[in-house]
Amino acid sequence: MDRVNEILNLYTNEIILGLIVFSLFLLLLFLIQEFRVSSIKKKYNKLLEDSKGTSLEEILFNHLDEMKNVKEEVKEVKNYASNIDNRLKTSIQRVGMIRYNAFDDMGSDLSFSVALLDDNNTGIVISNLFGRNESITYGKPVINGESDYKLSIEEIQAIDRAKRNSLYMEDKMRKAVK
């Protein structure tokens, strides 16, 4: 122990000077690190705030709320479109018409049959027979392309045209989408 005290007494000034240099070196390292952390903090804060002072966190939460609202609106639009699609299936979508001469003694194709059908080929076929002295109009119900009433050849042709017109339009739509 005496030996250690002797060494300490001899080299006290050098030890204190060494500790001061070492402390200054540590202080320099601390200042360099503080400068780096400060510049990283500035970049981080700049990243987290836009020009209006809104933080990135607020922006993200706002976008999440907007996304939730958009998802709800899309769901409503899908339901609305589905409702419209269901309603359209029962509306008149297929129309077929044929003109003909119902009576041989008449000179022109003034009689006609019109088929008005929905997506399920259900609807009505309307015929008008034009004669010299009178014109007769009547309708027959059509269910799934068939009628419980006897159909004339022209009425059958009108129904077939209505079915073909729909298929023609569906093919045109498919080609337009592609």
Cα 167–chain centre separation: 27
Q: What is the pLDDT along the chain (178 residues), one digit of tens a residue?
A: 778 777 777 777 888 888 999 999 999 999 999 999 999 988 877 777 666 666 777 878 889 999 999 999 999 999 999 999 888 888 898 999 999 988 776 667 889 999 999 988 999 999 999 887 888 999 999 999 889 999 999 999 999 999 887 655 555 555 665 5
pTM (2 d.p.): 0.55
What pLDDT score was predicted for residue 50? 64
Edge to edge, what strands does the sheet with 111-117 contain? 94-100, 111-117, 123-130, 135-142
Show me where the domains of the chain are located.
Answer: 2-44, 52-88, 94-177
CB 123 within 8 A of CB 115: yes
CB 95 within 8 A of CB 163: no
